Structure 1
Amino acid sequence: MSGFDRVLWYVARIAACAALLSVGAFVVSELLTDRVAFLQTMWWIPRRWFALVCLVLCLVVVGLQRRSMFAWWLLAFAAFLSVRALLLDWGVPRERPASGLRLVHWNASWPSSNATRVSLDVLLATNADVIVLTDSGTIFRNDNDEAIRAAHYDIAHAGRFALLSRLRVMEAIPLLAHDACNISRFTLDFSGVPLVLEAVDLPSDVDLPRYTLAQTLANELESLRATPPDIALGDFNITRGSASLGLLYPGFEESFAARGTGWGVSYPRHAPLIHIDLTLVGPRFVTLRSAIIDPGAGRHAMQVVDLAARESR
């Protein structure tokens, strides 16, 4: 074996190890999500980029070892992971349903006065039945509240959240507010039946173990309310598919995963990488359509979700 062939042999082995480790790490992170604190960061890496790195490394291995069936099988598996990751962040085109309940959530993050009017126009253009805002800032200043009421919305506040609703607001109360964890509860009159929403805003600290946090909050919520909500929505600072979401709201489905359309990543707005703004739907309702749109300001994109009561389908 010549010196060049020996170098090539070592490079091929190193590339194969790197490819195998990256694919293995991807699979482990998919299985564990955020259950293990020290592996949480690996789960938070955007899935499509993580899978793309795996695919590129496998392509290098195939280029160096074209006769290796193992290299080709590894490449095929990495290609499958890449396509799957891409499809989880993208939904097929769907028309807005002719009927149903339309919800909008936006973490406004204290928008400036200059950005407020643009964002308010986008909000009102959604023609939503219910709009939930986190840290609404200057949204209600000047004559904006008049424009909101002219669009037939009632306004309610609870904790860090503001509610714009065309349904009668029966109750608006903060459930908890501590350690950057904020959850408020809104009860609305939905065709004579109470509809309960919980607005959620959780810490953005990337080092905070989400699974442990979710366990703590789930126990606290159980003592604060008699029944779970019908819908939970907000800036969870937890990525779609995380095991911790199942602790907070067991049995709920994430709306974009169920019936998403377009790109489903919400943060940061200018160059979205991850989906941390979520709408979780309980068993009383089914998702008809879920989309992420640009509100024209702020750091977060806006969620627009169409729902229907299960008994009406």
Structure 2
Amino acid sequence: MSNIIEPNNLCPLLVVIVNYRTANLTIDCLRSLVSEVQSLPGMQAVVVDNDSGDGSAEKIGTAIKTEGWSDWASLLPSDYNGGFAFGNNAGIRPALKSSNPPPYFFLLNPDSIARPGALKVLVDFMDEHPQAGIAGSALEKPDGEPWHITFRFPTILSELDGGLNLGIVSKLLSNWVIDRSMPPDKPSETDWIPGASFIIRREVFDSIGLMDEGYFLYYEETDFCLQAKRAGWSCWYVPQSLVQHIGGQSTGYTYDSLEPAKRLPTYRFDSRRRYFVKNHGLLYALLADTVWILGFASWRLRRVIQRKPDTDPPQLLSDFIRNSVFFKGGASS
């Protein structure tokens, strides 16, 4: 069941939503785009269903038809779940190959709600900043709390900080800590932004190609933003564009810090290893693994001595070591 819309020369933006067993949320996400279509005439959206196998594709296709969205929304069922990058590429690739590819592509998670004007703000920003290759929205947690955070690229020093979990070290390494608090009232340049909601200029794909499908989930947007930066494109955080993001509805990992930590999936370690080996080489990846393992081992000992609660994911240290470069080398999976 598909109804792929061919982009035309009036299409200012193609929205790509990758669904995996979140049909109801995807339909709500599409519903939030109705007002955006009015502010961006010709805008189109494609939902890629990553082989959900639970009736999601049929349910979404029916909603597109019954809600009267068929003139701007379409469904692209996939018979294979290749992950986040794979799904987004499946939606982007046909548009890039069309006779009139849109100037911008907007990646939007299915568990997101675009607030009024969110997409128009990003399109206007990109029009006004021709060197900006990527720009992302401010995210809003389910309880309405704004999340003004972007990220720095991972380095050996950020891995040391992440493993140690020690306040004084985090202060000393503040310029390398991954999380980066952003001004809530003005656009700011940054390293990379969450893949839940960001816009990409078409020429970025001309420069670096599509997203790396070697990542199943996690690190694909980090890698993409790094490749774009190396090609001369800047990445921006635009808080005037607001998107509510529930988070973790396909993976089970949410913003809720009160929920017990879950064991991390193997693909998360695979993606981390792929990122470091691909972008910095095997030796650098070995050093990054070493400092994290030593730092985290010291944190686990310190936690016991200080009698602090154990909030780490189960078996994190053993899982990390088992999936490190030491045991898997440069393999991505």
TM range (shorter): under 0.3
Which structure features the higher share of strand residues? Answer: 1
| TM-score for both structures, normalised by structure 1 | 0.28
Higher CA-based Rg: 1
